[in-house]
Structure 1
Amino acid sequence: MPIDALLAALSQHHFPNPPATPAQIAAFESRVGWKLDADLRAFYLHCDGAALFESPPDANYRILPLAEIRRARLAVFGRDDDAYGSPSLYALVDMQDTNYVVVDVEPKFTRYPLFDAFHETFPAVEQIAPSFGDFLMRALDSGGRSFWLEE
């Protein structure tokens, strides 16, 4: 499903924040040192973060606003040190209880894959989607469950 259709469904049935401005996106990219891929750029121009299924603070799926995105190892452990995980993994979706969906922003990817970052096993991660668009499609269809954990 095209990202525009997913974003329309998100706006219709969920809890999007107001959009990020191009200046906010440029400031974010300067701060983190990597560029948003096409799906993430479209998402953040549409809404600067969103809660799916339930409004905050009860949302299990909370796609972080740009200002809250940080390295996964910092989000999970509070330490920005290579011993605590890869510097290319960034926390993107707060799943509550220090569990995150993280994005790998290695330059070799044109579309960044997403991974389950379970706090008890991190920095070991398991890929759950090849792109943010795929993740969003499956999340919106999940009924609020962590789709990658279903049998």
Structure 2
Amino acid sequence: MNIKILIKLIQEKHHQSGIEINPPATFSDITEFENEIGFSLPSDFREFYLTCNGFGCNEDIFNMIPLQNIRKYPQNFGKNWFHFSEYMIYSEMWGLRRTSEGEFEIFNDSHPDKVMTSSVNEFLQRFLAGNVFDSGGLYEWQKELGIM
């Protein structure tokens, strides 16, 4: 599914409970961020940030973190990794890392040795399906993968 469509569907789903979609990042925002983390973002992450520079949902206090907020807190990024999503005011986080082989891995910070996917598109589809806790959501997905 296209990232723009996913964001639109997430926005429609969370309209009643509250959601704030940030304006898109610029190409220079992305380039500066990539220079800081030491790798070029996968194409679906670039598409995400060029569609919206993150969003915040009142339900589950779930956020896709804007690039400037990631960069603001050095504990949330390093060479070859960064946290891109969180819920409950940073009590649980999801990150992206680039392996030494150049592969991308999305992981839950509570279980960093386990890989969920390489795709923010798939991550957002699971959030759309069931938020963090509902059927089809992020926690159920992690259970399916044997992470929790």
Fold equivalence (TM over 0.5) = yes
Are the counterparts in 1 of residues 93 and 108 from structure 2 also a CA contact under 8 Å? yes
For the aligned residue pairs, the C-alpha RMSD in angstroms reads 2.8
Aligned pair count reads: 131
CA contact (8 A) 1:138 1:147 kept: no
Q: CA deviation at 1:148?
A: 3.0
Report the Cα offset of residue 150 of structure 1: 4.9
Structure 1 contact 49–62 (Cα < 8 Å) conserved:
yes
Residue in 2 that maps onto 1:128: 116
Say whether residues 1:148 and 2:141 are aligned partners.
yes
Structure-1-length-normalised TM-score:
0.70
**Which structure 1 segments of 5+ residues have no match?**
81-86
Distance apart, 1:140 and its partner CA: 1.1
The equivalent of 1:102 in structure 2 is 95
Q: The residue matched to 1:135 in structure 2 has which SS? A: helix
CA deviation vs aligned residue, 1:7-47 (integer Å, no higher than 9, x gap): 22134334311111112112212222211111111110111
User: Is the contact between residue 117 and residue 126 of structure 1 (CA under 8 Å) also seen in structure 2?
Assistant: no
Match of 2:66 in 1: 65
Paired position in structure 2 for 1:83: none
TM-score, normalised to structure 2, is 0.72
Aligned residues: percent identity? Answer: 26
Where do 5+ consecutive residues of structure 2 fail to align? 134-138
Please give the alpha-carbon distance, in whole angstroms, between the structure 2 residues aligned to 1:13 and 1:20. Answer: 23
SS of residue matched to 1:30: helix
Secondary structure, counterpart of 1:92 in structure 2: strand
